[in-house]
Amino acid sequence: MRIVTRVRIIGDKFFFSMGPMELFKQIDRHSSIKKAAEQMGMSYTKALRIIRVAEDELGFALVISEKGGNSRGQTRLTAKGAQVLKTFEEIQCDVSDFAQKLFEERFTF
């Protein structure tokens, strides 16, 4: 048996969890918000909304877009964006590990 946990970061609004984390990972992988959204089966406008809310709540940019048309434009994570992603993944992993350990210690029926 195992326990499943969810880590969510909430400021004035809910703004970061596994879904947004995956969006930012896909943006990093594809260098494109549009391709990242498509990969996740999400609309482009929803992806933009997730990015804007997270940036508003954190007070800094997570992505930077360079214009250049279909062949030259790209979007990438800012240094702070990459750090937020890394830190969230570490927290999620630590919380999951701790919860599993606690579950194994106490769920002894």
Asked if 33 contacts 65 with a C-beta cutoff of 8 angstroms, the reply is: yes
Q: Please count the CA atoms within 13 angstroms of the CA of 33 that sit on its side-chain side.
A: 20
Domain positions in the chain = 9-106
Per-residue pLDDT at 45 exceeds 70: yes
In CATH, the number for domain 9-106 is 1.10.10.10
Mean pLDDT of 47-67: 95
pLDDT on residue 51: 97
Q: Supply the pLDDT for residue 73.
A: 79
* 78 in Cβ contact with 58 (< 8 Å): no
The confidence score (pLDDT) of residue 70 equals 62
Q: Does the structure show a pLDDT above 90 at 55?
A: yes
The pLDDT, as a whole number, for residue 94 is 97
Secondary-structure percent of the chain, ordered helix, strand, coil, rounded to 5: 60, 10, 25
Question: Three-state SS for 8?
Answer: coil
